Chains A and B, each alone.
Chain A
Amino acid sequence: MLELRHVSKRFSGIAAVDDVSFSARPGEVTGYLGPNGSGKSTTMKMITGLIEASAGHIFFEGKPVQDDLLVYKRRMGYVPEEPYLYTHLSGTEYLTMVAQLRDLPARRSAERIDSMLRLFSLHDDRHASISGYSKGMRQKVLIIAALMHNPQAILLDEPFSGLDVASSLVLRNLIQELAARGKVVLFSSHELDTVERICSRVVILHHGKVVADDSIASLRSLMELPTLEQIFSQLAVEQDTASIARQIADLIYA
């Protein structure tokens, strides 16, 4: 289980994440939602060890991750929000480098990379430079890099970004399949329909604080709202979206 206890992160005194506590259990997909700037990606980066928390603790399988970060990183896979890659490498070269960094056996990792590239329809372009890849192709490389070492904790920050319909469906089923096989999956996205379909529980963040942490069914009945979108709008959207759209249109015509 992945657990956050009273985790905060401050940048120059301003709280980006404020006293956040929740847990993601094995066998279920936990959705992590929030508007832009609510602190989702900052939380993800703290969980991956990219940035340190200003306060609080993160536990994985009952142990603080900071106690042995190297061991924890062996068991964690991460798809970041932005598809930043070393673009002077080819897809195969990048994935081979990640496999080597993760100390995977050479032959086994080569076979696994080749098979995954085929399954993600990247095999024909595996020797082309990543600089020429589309956003969706880069996203596939990130997903393969995050999963090829069979991690126990999978952190997905906007993993559907740029993917075509077929690849999105594959990934959606893959996430559910991995959760069903006992992985801890923390999944952050703005696509509420997808979240509603694949997540068992959701944590909603607003201004760096947790405003909801429950199963979608419980939230529906508690708030007496039929969809996750309406629940999210009520909890985390302060603006009158229709009015803003009208104002923008007025500006264009002005």
Chain B
Amino acid sequence: MHELIEKLIARLPLDFRVLYRQFLLRVIDLEALSIQGDVPAFIGQFAGVLIMLSLIHATVTYLGYTFITEPAERFAFLWHMQHYLIATMMLVVGMFAVLSWDATFPDKRDVMVLSPLPVAARTILIAKVSANAAVLGLAILTLNVASGVVMPLIMGAQPGPALGPFQSLPAWCFSIVAAGLFLYGSVLTVQGFTALLLPRRMFLRLSAVLQLAAFGLFLCVYFVQPSITTAAAMAAPENQWVLACSPSYWFWGMFNQLNGSLPPQFAWIALRAWMGLALAIAGAASSLLLCYLHTMKRTVEEPDLVPGGGLRWMPSFGSTLQTAVAHFSIRSLARSRQHRVAFAFYLAFVLGIALSLLRAEVAAAAPRPLSMDFLIPTFLMMFFAVVGLRNVFSLPVSLTANWVLRTAQIRPSQDYVAATRRSLQLLAVVPAWLISAALAFGFRSVSQVAAHLAVLALFGTILVELCLVGFYKVPFTCSYLPGKTNIQFAFWGFVVVLIVVLVPCAEFEMRALNQADRYGFMFSLLVGLAAGLFAYNDHQAKSAVIYFEEAPDELITTLGLSA
């Protein structure tokens, strides 16, 4: 088998194989890793996370199927899981499409390097598409490696499909691949036609906005759309717009149609999936072809120097160092694709929570008494903003350019930690607090709202101090070693802890808001905690070294037993 694959690969043209390998490695942004970055290991880790997710999905599906014995409930559960799995798969594909935003179309580097070489444009196109398809295929495969087998096997055992699992399995495989192709194709279509229709300079600016918009849209749809799990709910008039607008329900319909389990009155949902798939494939194919015929030329002709736009003046944010670090952070977030997308991931949570709060505000006719419905979302927003920004700060923007910070390091290390603190406060605590304050207009009493906002500000301050423990770095300047990306796992660990402690804490605060002495005690405790953490970080920072490269652990550890 291995020899057969080797032979087949050897029959491909050499220039295609060389380009395919190059493009495959470039789908992952190496700048995020340290110099010793190992792309295959990185892809392996990523695949591992998806396989783990697939195993969890499969286990939940199987356990739910086993423990729910009532037929109607069981069917509703399976419908819910089908939709959830398809929606999750589409979210992963959407994330991939956003993260590899510019990877499918030729950039200036490709054109400048490859144009003088005797390589046909079609070879570049096919190599690029193949490289992206390979990573996309890997993502789809790993995410469905267990759940993609368990779900069709269970569905095949249900009344409905004529051929049992033999019909369900291919139906499921086809539907999830179709859903992935639809989403990826739609993104390529929008990108390709925008590139064709707009002047290149304008396209480059709009492309960044489109990328963020797509990211926010995918996350918001995933988290905000309701779960419709019964035939009665599907027929309800208030849910028709969800079914008509949500592609994950379209492909749920496609699977059930292929499986023979779709009630005939919902055939129109599946029809949308077929139409959407055809349009996305046709749109992606035509935009790719047109781009390679037209855009490559335009890329060469574009001027090297693009006049800068946007805001040129920015206010001072404290000392010159604090201002320098804050300006650098703002500009890196605004202009670096990688950082913008990473931060957008966390901002999408903030935005989703804010939107659901706003929806409740609009629905409420009159001001309501302050409740847990407001306290918990505001704490969550603050958490996602602060911890999310702290995570994004860990991604370097340009390791090779860090020499300037090191040669211009003329102040003690605690000043740099203070500058990082200021940036976290400015870019995370202040916006999250302002959004919360703006959304508080529908709640009464005013004094209670003000008291909660004071607690929220302290919560943000404590989070910032917790994020600074051991973080002796300037934002966006330090590399991390491959395999040390456990910050993402730490983030989700934090989320779990927060979920556990948040409800009792919010209940305590709710009671305290009605009792002055209890509130005073709680407030003093929080102030003490914030001050203690501040003092600890400041003290530690005095003896810390600001570091720019994460070094591997020593191979030999001295035990220090000798005198």
Any A CB within 8 A of the CB of B406: yes
B398 near A74: Cβ-Cβ < 8 Å: no
> Which chain B residues border A76 with CB–CB below 8 Å?
407
A34 within 8 A of B: no
B400 on the interface (CB 8 Å rule)? yes
Closest-CB distance, B339 to chain A (whole angstroms)? 9
Using Cβ atoms and an 8 Å threshold, which residues of chain A touch B306?
Answer: 128-129, 132
Task: Pick the contact of A93: B327, B336, B411 (CB < 8 A).
Answer: B327
Interface string of B387-410 (1 = CB under 8 A from A): 000000000011011011111111
A100-B321 contact, Cβ under 8 Å, with A70-B412, A84-B398, A133-B305:
yes
A90 lies within 8 A of chain B by Cβ: yes
**Are B403 and A84 neighbours in the complex by a CB distance under 8 Å?**
yes
Tell me, in angstroms, the Cα distance from A103 to B408 when the chains sit together. Answer: 9
Tell me if B335 counts as interface (CB < 8 A to partner A).
Answer: yes
A26 interface residue (CB < 8 Å to B): no
In the bound complex, do residue A49 and residue B407 qualify as a contact, i.e. CB atoms below 8 Å apart? yes
Cβ of B324 under 8 Å from chain A = yes
Q: Measured between alpha carbons, how far is A76 from B409 in the docked complex, in Å? A: 11
Most buried by A among B335, B408, B409: B408
Q: Assess whether B328 is interfacial by the CB under 8 Å rule.
A: yes
Q: Is B304 interfacial (CB-CB < 8 Å)? A: yes
In the complex, chain B residues whose CB is within 8 Å of the CB of A71: 410
Residue in B closest to A146 when the chains form the complex, CB atoms: B407
Taking CB atoms, residues of chain A closer than 8 Å to B412 are 70
Any chain B CB within 8 A of the CB of A145?
A: yes
Chain B 237-271: CB-based contact to A (< 8 A → 1; otherwise 0)? 00000000000000000000000000000000000
B409 CB contacts on chain A under 8 angstroms: 70, 73, 101
From B304, B331, B406, give the contact of A132 (CB < 8 A): B304
> Are A97 and B328 closer than 8 Å at their CB atoms?
yes
Instruction: Tell whether B194 is near chain A: CB-to-CB under 8 Å.
Output: no
C-alpha spacing A100/B332, complex, angstroms:
17
Dominant secondary structure of chain A at its interface with chain B: mixed
Interface bracket on B:
20 to 34
Give the docked Cα–Cα distance between A85 and B327 (Å). 16
Enumerate A171-195 residues with CB–CB distance to B below 8 Å. none
Contact A73 B408 (CB under 8 A): yes
Q: Is the beta-carbon distance between A127 and B331 smaller than 8 angstroms?
A: no
* Pairwise interchain contact B410-A100, C-beta atoms closer than 8 A: no
Please, what's the 1-or-0 string for A89-109, where 1 marks a CB less than 8 Å from any CB in chain B? 110110011111111101000
Contacts of B405 in A (CB 8 A): 101
Taken together as a complex, chains A and B put the C-alpha atoms of A89 and B324 apart, in Å, by 12
B359 within 8 Å of A (CB atoms): no
Q: A73-B409, A128-B307 are in contact. Are A101 and B398 (CB under 8 A)?
A: no
| Residues of B contacting A134 in the complex (Cβ-Cβ under 8 angstroms) | 304
Given contacts A74-B410, A103-B320, contact A84 B304 (CB under 8 A): no
Cβ-closest chain A residue relative to B408: A101
**Is B552's CB within 8 Å of the partner chain A?**
no
Chain B residues numbered 500-546 whose CB sits less than 8 Å from any CB in chain A: none
A103 to B412, CA, bound (A): 13
Contact: A103 with B400, CB < 8 Å? no
Tell me the chain B residues, 395-443 only, with Cβ under 8 Å from chain A: 397-398, 400-401, 403-412
CB pair B398–A90 under 8 Å, yes or no, is no
B308: CB under 8 A from chain A? yes
Complexed CA–CA distance, A11 and B198 (Å): 52
Contacting residues, chain B, for A70 (C-beta < 8 A): 409-412
Complex-state Cα separation, A92 to B331, whole angstroms? 13
Q: Tell whether A78 is near chain B: CB-to-CB under 8 Å.
A: yes
Contact of A88 among B305, B397, B400, B403 (CB under 8 A): B397
Q: Is A254 an interface residue (CB 8 A)?
A: no
Is A48's CB within 8 Å of the partner chain B? yes
Do B320 and A98 have beta carbons less than 8 Å apart? no
A104 to B412, CA, bound (A): 16
A229 an interface residue at 8 Å Cβ cutoff? no
In the assembled complex, the Cα of A96 lies from the Cα of B320 at a distance in Å of 10
- Tell me whether B323 is interfacial, beta carbon within 8 Å: yes
The answer to whether the Cβ of B11 comes within 8 Å of any Cβ in the partner chain is no
Residues of B within 8 A of A128 (CB): 305-308
Question: Which residues on the A side are within 8 Å of B411 (C-beta)?
Answer: 70, 103
B305 in contact with A132 (CB, 8 Å): yes
Report how far A132 CA is from B304 CA in the complex, Å: 5
A125 interfacial by beta-carbon distance below 8 Å: yes
Any B CB within 8 A of the CB of A249: no
- Flag if A127 contacts B332 (CB, 8 Å): no
Asked whether any CB of chain A lies closer than 8 Å to the CB of B7, the reply is no
* Residue of B327, B332, B404 with highest tally of chain A CB at under 10 A: B404
What does the 1/0 interface line of A101-144 toward B look like (CB < 8 Å)? 11110100000000000000000010111001110000000000
**Chain A residues near B (Cβ < 8 Å):** 48-50, 70-71, 73-74, 76, 78, 80, 82, 84-90, 92-93, 96-104, 106, 125, 127-129, 132-134, 145
In addition to A89-B331, A90-B308, A127-B312, 19 A-B residue pairs with Cβ atoms within 8 Å of each other are A48-B407, A49-B407, A50-B407, A70-B410, A70-B412, A73-B407, A78-B407, A84-B400, A86-B401, A88-B332, A88-B398, A89-B328, A97-B327, A101-B409, A103-B321, A127-B308, A128-B305, A128-B307, A134-B304
Q: Please, could you name 14 A-B residue pairs with CB atoms under 8 Å apart, sorted by A?
A: A49-B406, A50-B406, A70-B409, A70-B412, A73-B408, A74-B410, A88-B336, A97-B324, A100-B320, A101-B320, A103-B320, A125-B305, A127-B307, A127-B312
A-B pairs with lowest CB-CB distance, top 8: A100-B324, A127-B308, A84-B400, A101-B408, A88-B335, A100-B320, A132-B305, A84-B401
